[in-house]
Structure 1
Amino acid sequence: MAKPMELRGRTAVITGAASGIGRALALDLAGRGCHLALADRDAAGLDAVAAEASRRGVRASRHVVDLVDAAAIAALPEAVLAEHGGVDLVVNNAGVALGGTFEQVSERDFDWLFDINFFAVVRMTRAFLPALKRSDDARLVNVSSLYGFVAPPGQTAYAASKFAVRGFSQALRLELDGTTVGVTTVHPGGVATAIARNARAPAGASPEQLADSVKRFEKLLRLPPERAAAAIAEAVVRRKPRVIVGSDAKFVSLLERLLPVSYGRVLAAVAKRA
């Protein structure tokens, strides 16, 4: 069995760190003695998380970055290394949602979602991999979703992006085998974050339709972010290549393995009952 990864005294970069899973993970890692480089476009949210993390005795730098900006991502390692000197853990957590069927979603919105959910993961990996390789013990954590296992209707863009994160991470893990850098893919289920409220809506949807959609989706978001963060942190410590977070994600993973083609009928029946 591999020796656990020691997080005390290490430095972690976390995207989407101002709220939700990112915030909870930052505070969990701070409690384990891990220094933090917090990235998000929400400056006020970053200030609050950095202040709370600092009270736990670690160094926490804040980096206001819009992940659709490739140049800003490319410049981020220099800023982080200037503050911390090295990087041992990168968590690509930031993500967005987009409502509507494929025909309802514009090409611009589809590309916007992919820029954040997938291409930002690739760009962050490319930007920070040299620094991770300089560490004697490093890890890259990419957050996919239960929609990286199944692809329900109305989620063409989101599911495509999360399947892409899964495939990218699995191939990269094998490519980095034998180096000091491990890769963990995370598949969370319904975590109680603001992702549904912040989702971009398709053109032409009425306020009533949007409110109903958010209400129905938020019923599925039940797992506290702190529990999701603890599961991710433990997966890092135990060097797990994959972690499935939440009973709903575990059910969906099993269902897809049992019914790889016809799982949609079961999910539709479950959704109808719910």
Structure 2
Amino acid sequence: MQVNDCVAVLTGAGSGIGRALAVALAQRGCHLALADVNAAALAQTAEQVRAEGVRVSEHPLDVANRASVAALPQAVMAQHGQVDLLINNAGVALGGNFDQVKTEDFDWLMAINFDAVVCMTRAFLPLLKQRQAARIVNVSSLFGLITPAGQTAYCASKFAVRGFSNALRLELQGGPVGVTVVHPGGVATAIATSARPPAGVDEAEHARKLKQAEKLLRMPPPRAAEIILNGIERDKPRVVVGNDARILSWLERLMPVNYWRLLPGIATQKTN
């Protein structure tokens, strides 16, 4: 798929991988319909990519609001007249073991990380099917491949994105719409450090865990965006971003039950 002169709808465009993807797409001549819950951050991204000379529309959006998602295709079509690429990138994180996480917090995360992917896909699929070549790109995570303790909700959402994407790809096979699922490893974004803490957890302990997580977030978002876009342009069904994600993905396939026994040693080596 060549993205030059295409129109991409991108959620979570206000920061991190989303902003880097917006810039990389614009540099390739792709017009953009950018969405984010943070209108100020969204405006900053839009200003940055307009310098590349592409057409850009801003859509402040809570992806967990189904009515807002359902109305988005009409707004995008009014501005751009077509949609060739849908990138479901918006996501949040939630720390804590399962018995520490409130039901409403678990549901909040699932609504953004998984339900929104389904709703966005349902909303834009009819428009994508009208194109000769189109693609849906769903951003899962390394934690859609492996399952660390303390990430029950996040892993559940990202494994759901992976399963949904893989099944949808088979259903759409033979038509104009391809599906790519993306598994980023340690990309230097704010998703880990801004994770919602579980109720009742000691603040100092939570801060310590966030600091540990931050040490593993090393890849610059622009590098991650380039890897993802290269995968899109090559019509790859799965894109694993980063050596850490590739190694751990391989290890999980080799030892699907017992792989975690090796990970404390690997993590220690990576942070020394």
TM-score calculated relative to the size of structure 2: 0.97
- Spell out, residue by residue over 1:99-123, the C-alpha distance to the aligned partner (whole angstroms, 9 max, x if none): 0000000111011000011000000
Deviation at 1:148, TM superposition (A): 0.9
Please name the residue that 2:262 is paired with.
Answer: 266
Please name the residue that 1:61 is paired with.
Answer: 57
Rounded Cα–Cα distance in structure 2 between residues aligned with 1:18 and 1:254:
32
- Spell out, residue by residue over 1:67-112, the C-alpha distance to the aligned partner (whole angstroms, 9 max, x if none): 1111111111111111100100000001111000000001110110
Q: 1:171 aligns with which of 167, 170, 174?
A: 167
Aligned pairs for 1:32-71 (under 5 A) are 32-71=28-67
Q: How many residues align?
A: 270
Rounded Cα–Cα distance in structure 2 between residues aligned with 1:157 and 1:269:
25
Q: 2:176 aligns with which of 177, 180, 204?
A: 180
Please name the residue that 1:136 is paired with.
Answer: 132
Please name the residue that 1:122 is paired with.
Answer: 118
Please name the residue that 1:112 is paired with.
Answer: 108
Deviation at 1:272, TM superposition (A): 4.7
- Aligned residue for 2:227, secondary structure, equals helix
Letter in 2 for 1:242: R
Deviation at 1:210, TM superposition (A): 2.1
Letter in 1 for 2:184: P
Please name the residue that 2:156 is paired with.
Answer: 160
- Aligned residue for 1:166, secondary structure, equals helix
- Aligned residue for 2:99, secondary structure, equals coil
- Aligned residue for 1:103, secondary structure, equals helix
Letter in 1 for 2:29: G
Please name the residue that 1:222 is paired with.
Answer: 218
In the alignment, structure 2 segments of 5+ residues that lack a partner are none
2:5 pairs with 1:9: yes
In the alignment, structure 1 segments of 5+ residues that lack a partner are none
TM-score calculated relative to the size of structure 1: 0.97
Please name the residue that 2:92 is paired with.
Answer: 96
Rounded Cα–Cα distance in structure 2 between residues aligned with 1:165 and 1:98:
16
Rounded Cα–Cα distance in structure 2 between residues aligned with 1:14 and 1:84:
14
Deviation at 1:264, TM superposition (A): 1.3
Letter in 2 for 1:26: A
- Spell out, residue by residue over 1:176-221, the C-alpha distance to the aligned partner (whole angstroms, 9 max, x if none): 0011000001000010000122110000122212211111110111
- Spell out, residue by residue over 1:128-164, the C-alpha distance to the aligned partner (whole angstroms, 9 max, x if none): 0001001111000000111111111101110111111
Rounded Cα–Cα distance in structure 2 between residues aligned with 1:153 and 1:41:
29
Letter in 2 for 1:229: A
Rounded Cα–Cα distance in structure 1 between residues aligned with 2:52 and 2:268:
45
2:214 pairs with 1:206: no
Deviation at 1:266, TM superposition (A): 1.1
- Spell out, residue by residue over 1:19-54, the C-alpha distance to the aligned partner (whole angstroms, 9 max, x if none): 000000000000000000000011111111111111
- Aligned residue for 2:10, secondary structure, equals strand
Rounded Cα–Cα distance in structure 1 between residues aligned with 2:195 and 2:142:
17
Rounded Cα–Cα distance in structure 2 between residues aligned with 1:92 and 1:23:
13
Letter in 1 for 2:3: L
